[in-house]
Each structure stands twice: as C-alpha cells, then as structure tokens.
Amino acid sequence: MSAPTSPRTGPARHHVDSRRWPDVAVVPRVSRPRTAVARHLVRRALEALPLWTVLPGGETLGTGGPRLEIHDPDSFHRRLGHSGLIGFGESYMAREWDAPDLVGVLRVFAEHAETLVPPPLQRLRPLWAPVRPASQRNTPEGARGNIHRHYDLSNELFALFLDETLTYSSAVFRSFPPAWRDLAPAQRRKTEMLLDQLRAGPGTRLLEIGTGWGELALCAAKRGAEVVSVTLSQKQLEVARRRVEEAGFADRVTLLLRDYRQVRGSYDAIVSVEMIEAVGEEYWPVYLKALDRLLAPGGRVVLQAITMPHHRLLATRRTHTWIQKYVFPGGMIPSLRALSRIAREETRLRPAADAAFGAHYAETLRLWRERFTERADEVAALGLDDTFRRMWTLYLAYSEAGFRAGYLDVRQLLLLREERGQEGE
C-alpha cells in the first residue's frame, strides 16, 4: 500500500479572536527539552498507529488508515508538550492539523488510548497531566455556572442540529444506518422506553432531574402523569415552559429552576437523562442519596447515563481534559461499577435492570454532526466564529469516535429501593 501524496503546505492559519480564545490564538512557550520529548513521543506513537500521518513536504508516518494532516508540526508539538490532549484539541481549533475523516482518526486514538503514552509516563500522569481546576467543582453555585456555559449558549444553536423533539441525548433506532428522518422517531422511542420502565401513567408523581427542552415532561404528561421537572438552564427552561403551555399541559407539568439538592417531596418515579455526567465524581454520592430520599416506597428510578470502563475512570479522574475546558466544564463520565458501588454503600437503591446501546449514540452523534456541518452558515449567522465551529465539530466527532471505539457506552439503568428488612434475604 503506497503512502498518500501531500501538498507542501497546509491551509493558512485563520484568524483567532485572542480575547475569546486566548489559549488557541497564542502557541504556548515550552522549553526546548520538553518540546523535543513531546516530538519524540508523538512520532513514536504515530509511526505505530494505523493512520497515514502526513507532514509538510510529504513525509508520512504510520501503517495506513485514516489520514491525519499536520500543517504546523512545531506548534502542534509545543501544544502537546505544554498541555497534552488539551493542546491536541487547541491545535485543531487553530487549524494546525486536520483530517478528512475526523471521526476515523479520533477512533484510532480512542482504540489505542492505553498504549499512546509509555507505561512509565502513565505512572507519572499526576506530574505531567493538567489537573482539573477547583473553579469547576459542582457546588450549588459552581454547578449553575458550569451548566450555564454549555446549555445556555444559544437555544437557536441547538435547534440548528437537533431534531424537532429538541432531544439532546442518545436516540434508539430500529435499524442501521439511520437517516436524518429516523432521528425524531428514534428519540420518541427512547423516551417511551424510559417512561415504560418507570410505569408512568395516570396519576404517577414523576420527578425529572434535567429538563432539557421539555420533551420527556411533555410525553409523561400525555400519559397522565403529574410531572415536576428541574433544571439549572434558564434558556432551556424558557423553551420548555413555552412548549408545555402550547401543548395545554401547564396543569400537569411544573417546571422549576432548581438544583437537584434543593428538591423536596416524594415521587413514584424519578428519571434523569444524561444528567449524572454533569454532577461530578465528588457529588455522585450526594446525587444518589437525593434520589433515594425523594423516592416514594415502591417507586422506580431510571437513569440514562454515559459510562466509561472503570479502569479508564481511575486513570483519568483527576485530569483536566479538553472537553472539560471548552465544552462541559465540571463534567465527569462515571463507570457502571462506580455508580453501583456508591448506590450499594450510600443508599438503599439497587440496580434492577441495565440496557446498554452505545452504537445508537454513535449514530445519533453522526446525524447531529452532519446536520451541524450542513448548517455552518446559519451557525455563523448566530455570531459564532470559525474557531467555535471547529471546537463544536471536534466535540461531536470526538464523542462519536468514543462510542464507535467502545471507549464510551450509554445505558438505561433501572434502580429499585431495597426496603429495610429485605437486606440479606
């Protein structure tokens, strides 16, 4: 197999707004020894990976596969030497590297994540990997700020790439590969699956933690449930309230701008869709205790949660990532093992059913990414610059690659309370 040809120069560096993107606009100063180490480690990794890495002048590295084009090797290596994978993402935002098949390249990295860094350096991870800033802790005040940075970006932005249900979580498809027209029915199917597990129907007192734009609350109200839904996103709340009023369910649905820690009452059913990822590892016990406290006797809890393998959680739990810096501040993906342990040790909740469907999330993300790309001009019309668009494209592609590689999964987890007197039976 012959190596691909390459132009001698990559695209010209685009203008980066230094006020909005200070760490992208300026290539960090890094000592020559540190840059040299980064260059050596990167070259060693790229030579062994199933990629075609193309350097200026036509040199290629790798054993063949998706094409990675590095336009500015010096800046690329300096950024990686300075801040590891955060620098890798910032280098993409600055157009220092590109990939015709971005998901394919990122999937290769995800599949080889445990071998990219030599074992001795992995053991020294606390010394070289950026540490998560204390400012991103999900205290009640910190959680509001973290949610605001992502979910309050722009309702118009999300509407450009989400389907008509405005559902921002994994769908469940009937067949593969799905087309855009399949997404809204697949989102409704996912929501009905959640409500079926909760046995939601007339008179059910249902609590939703994480309102989104109101789709699940609407579906539950159509079944006759009495819904209380809480969110920390002001902009999402505005849209959800309008949708509830227009549907004529204001008497059945109460929408509140409220932290889960502040919720009171007793509920027959509790549902939370891809919200635990925003809770933070420090507060997972607090979150699960809140579910236990709020659940009525005989009630049911269903979580839809993104998860990662437990050993990857342990390896990365203290690391500050590109996703946390730019997309989901305060976010942390749990492992099923960690959630099960906390539930067992801190609450009376016990897993009763678990259905994983990561392949469906990969397809959901593909459809979002393709839609976002198709509507790039409309994204720009919202005042979001090229650097933002590359950031968002990388986020969607990176997430899709994680699910395609099996690095990430998504599951619906049913929790039931083990009542006193049942333990040990």
Query: Model confidence over 43-71: pLDDT tens digits?
Result: 999 999 999 999 999 999 999 999 999 99
What six digits make up the tokens of 266? 């007793």
d(CA 179, CA 367): 7
What is the set of domains in the chain, with CATH numbers?
A: 22-130 (no CATH), 135-417 (3.40.50.150)
- Compute φ and ψ for 209, nearest 5 degrees: -105, 110
pLDDT tier at 121 (50, 70, 90 boundaries)? low
- Compute φ and ψ for 373, nearest 5 degrees: -65, -45
Residue 424: pLDDT above 50?
Answer: no
> Which candidate, 138, 116, 142, places its Cα nearest to that of 315?
116
- Residue 229 near residue 255, CB atoms below 8 Å: yes
pLDDT value at residue 113: 85
Q: How many helices (H) and strands (E) does the chain have?
A: 18, 11
- Burial of residue 421 (CB within 10 Å: 0-12, 13-18, 19+) is exposed
The residues, ordered by sequence, that sit 6+ positions from 120 with a Cβ below 8 Å of its Cβ are: none
Q: Order the strands of the 349-356 sheet from edge to edge.
A: 253-257, 226-231, 205-209, 267-273, 295-307, 409-417, 349-356
Residue 120: pLDDT above 70?
Answer: no
What is residue 152's three-state secondary structure?
Answer: coil
> 95-104 burial by CB neighbour count: b if 16+ within 10 A, else e?
bbbbbeebbb
pLDDT value at residue 7: 41
pLDDT value at residue 130: 76
**Pairing verdict, β 60-61 and 253-257:** unpaired
**Pairing verdict, β 67-70 and 97-98:** antiparallel
Q: How many residues does the chain have?
A: 425
pLDDT value at residue 401: 98
Task: List the single range of 103-107, 132-136, 172-176 with lowest mean pLDDT.
Answer: 132-136
In the chain, the percentage of residues whose pLDDT exceeds 70 is 92
pLDDT value at residue 134: 86
d(CA 44, CA 49): 9
What six digits make up the tokens of 402? 């994680």
d(CA 128, CA 32): 16
> 230-265 burial by CB neighbour count: b if 16+ within 10 A, else e?
bbbbebbbebbeebbeeeebeebbebeebbbeebee
